[in-house]
Amino acid sequence: MRINRGAFLFAAVLVAATIAAAQAGKETAGQTLSGTSLSVPAEALLNGAAVWDQVPAHRISLNRTPPLYDTDESASLEIPLLDVRVVRAGGKVLVQMSWADSTHDSASLPEVPNTPPETRFRKVPTEAEDRFFDAVAVMFPEKKGAITPSLQMGDAEDPVQIYYWNAARGPMLMEAAGRGTTRTTGGSFAAHGAYEKGRWTVTLALPDLPAGTPLAFAIWNGSQKDRDGRKYFSVWQVLR
Amino acid sequence: MSKHQYAMVMDLNKCLGCQTCTIACKKLWTDRDGTGYMYWNNVETRPGMGYPRQWDRIGGGWKDGQLQPSPLPSMDDYGHAWEFDYEQRLYEGKKKPVMASPTPKSGPNWDEDVGGMNGDENYFFYLPRICNHCTYPACLEACPRKAIYKREEDGIVVLDQDRCQGYRYCIKACPYKKIYFNEVTGKSEKCIFCYPRLEKGEVNACAAQCPGRLRFVGLLDDPESPVHKLVRVHRAALPLFPEKGTQPNVFYVPPFNPPKRGNYDKSILEDSRLPLDYLIYLFGPEVRDVIERLEAELKTAQAGGRSELLQLLIGRDAETRYRIKPEVVQIKV
């Protein structure tokens, strides 16, 4: 497919910004995300609203990717902000993301156990083959250290891991080493998502990442036909 | 570019609209969860809405080397499956007649045999459709996952279920709307030209089951194959909507198009029952030449002469209609 010229420009600007920041000896990341350490089992935190209220939220600006292909419909910035809370507990980094979304794009799908994550759901079709579902993901470099790989799914030298959660299909572990290389690993992780009063709150259990690890966030808004690189994204943030 | 290209020719003069091909395909490939609404092979009445509804006007394909935009067909365009309330009528004392729910509003073959009117005369014909296994597949170009590829050994276009992420750019890009999204697996699916059968020397299921014997299968580049003869030698078959730019490898022998009632001694194109403009809409302006060629062959046969083309189109036996070369798939690429 012919890539939209705007997408090329966008990639060029990202690269230029990364190089400029590297030359200046600065991090390209946005703000730092300080994790709150709690001695509570990770499982309890996945659905523990009361505890999360004690954890400070970091408000992160989201950007929309430009139309990637000439045939794409344009989309407006409906979700400008993402609230992120981070807790270290039980040998996990729990990341809770919360954002306002006026449309609840989800489907209730009964689960079939003992099948790969991507085919786990056997369901009565929603009979809406033109629907897309809300989703969220956290991306971080596979290698330890404070290197920030390309925001476009990492690069060959610095592959990334992606903890992806979809409102219809649940959590899926993915990896990538550059744009167009994203693939599901078949692995999964603990996650919990809830939609209430026009707001998504999704908690993902990440592995115990060291301080200084860069994290990037992405949101897909189903009603805006988001999937693939058509999404909201943040620049790199640094975990503390 | 593939080394070889499998192709199919369908003679629309012989199609009965019986849907045996549709069922042969459905039983073989799309009886799994999430494939209920999928018809890798369907037969629609023309003129008519088609399946999905108005697919020929939605969009997709190529223009000036660029993919063309298209919305995704909605389930309203495919038609929602319905159930009949037999339970209530037979066992629960319902007095009214059995009813369908939800109220059917559209579906595959919804406008069967309706056709169009030319003055006071009705006309229609059946159009069987599979994936066109295009030479320049718009679906392949549209997929950012590179999940769709064209088999180098035989030109069959297939969709890798492991690479597919269900983004559905392919469905938008296909001007024939012959790719379907499976909600259960979250991946898209399409006609595979029965390649596992071809690899065993068996013809496609839709062709094998066709009581009208209207399908011809072989390699387009094999001079001995019936499809080569019909398309390249006799030039009696045309692709559907050539202006969509994908260069389909499924070809149609256009309907002979009888004259209107009471005009039996007239030429096929003189005062025809089926408006030529409609055939031009489907098959492009070349359809006029093809119909004239077919009529000339018909006249030869009617005058007691022998028409090689008509003998081929009659297709008495499988050896005439199909030339499957399982050895082509053994080429290592």
Q: Which CATH number covers residue A92?
A: 2.60.40.1190
Is there a domain that residue B306 lies in?
A: yes
Is there a domain that residue B101 lies in?
A: no
Distance of alpha carbon B290 from alpha carbon B306, whole angstroms: 19
Provide the angle, in degrees to the nearest 10, between the axes of the packed helices B276-283 and B287-302.
Answer: 120
Is there a domain that residue B319 lies in?
A: yes
Is there a domain that residue B318 lies in?
A: yes
Q: Do A70 and B66 touch (CB under 8 A)?
A: yes
Is there a domain that residue A153 lies in?
A: yes
B37 touches chain A (CB under 8 A): yes
B168, B72 Cβ separation under 8 angstroms: yes
The CATH code of the domain that includes B317 is 3.30.70.20
pTM: 0.88
**If you search the block for the tokens 């290389």, which residue do you land on?**
A181
Is there a domain that residue B74 lies in?
A: no
B73, B55 Cβ separation under 8 angstroms: yes
A190, A46 Cβ separation under 8 angstroms: yes
Chain A residues contacting B, CB < 8 Å?
A: 1-2, 68-71, 73, 118-119, 121-123, 125-130, 169, 180, 183, 227-229
Distance of alpha carbon B246 from alpha carbon B137, whole angstroms: 5
**If you search the block for the tokens 């036909």, which residue do you land on?**
A225
Domain count, chain A: 1
Is there a domain that residue A14 lies in?
A: no
Q: Is the pLDDT score of A209 beyond 90?
A: yes
Q: Do B169 and A1 touch (CB under 8 A)?
A: yes
Is there a domain that residue B96 lies in?
A: no
Is there a domain that residue A24 lies in?
A: no
Domain count, chain B: 1
The token pair at A107 is: 């489907």
Q: What pLDDT does residue A190 have?
A: 94
User: How far is A25 from chain B, CA to nearest CA, in Å?
Assistant: 35
Helix (H, G, I), strand (E, B) or coil at A226: coil
| A56, A115, B209 from B10: Cα distances, Å | 68, 41, 13
Taking residue A111's Cβ as centre, other Cβ atoms within 10 Å add up to 11
Complex confidence, ipTM: 0.80
Domain of residue A83 covers 29-239
B42-46 vs B125-129, strand pairing mode: antiparallel
Domain of residue B260 covers 6-66+109-330
Per-residue pLDDT of chain B (333 residues; tens, 9 = 90+): 789 999 999 999 999 999 999 999 999 999 988 898 999 999 999 999 999 999 999 999 999 999 999 999 999 999 988 889 998 999 999 999 999 988 999 999 999 999 999 988 899 999 999 999 999 999 999 999 999 999 999 999 999 999 999 999 999 999 999 999 998 888 999 999 999 999 999 999 999 999 999 999 999 999 999 999 999 999 999 999 999 999 999 999 999 867 777 777 777 778 888 999 999 999 999 999 999 999 999 999 999 999 999 999 999 999 999 999 887 755 544
Is there a domain that residue A175 lies in?
A: yes
Is there a domain that residue A4 lies in?
A: no
Q: How buried is A145 (Cβ within 10 angstroms: 0-12 exposed, 13-18 middle, 19+ buried)?
A: exposed
Alpha carbon A156 to its chain centroid, in Å, reads: 20
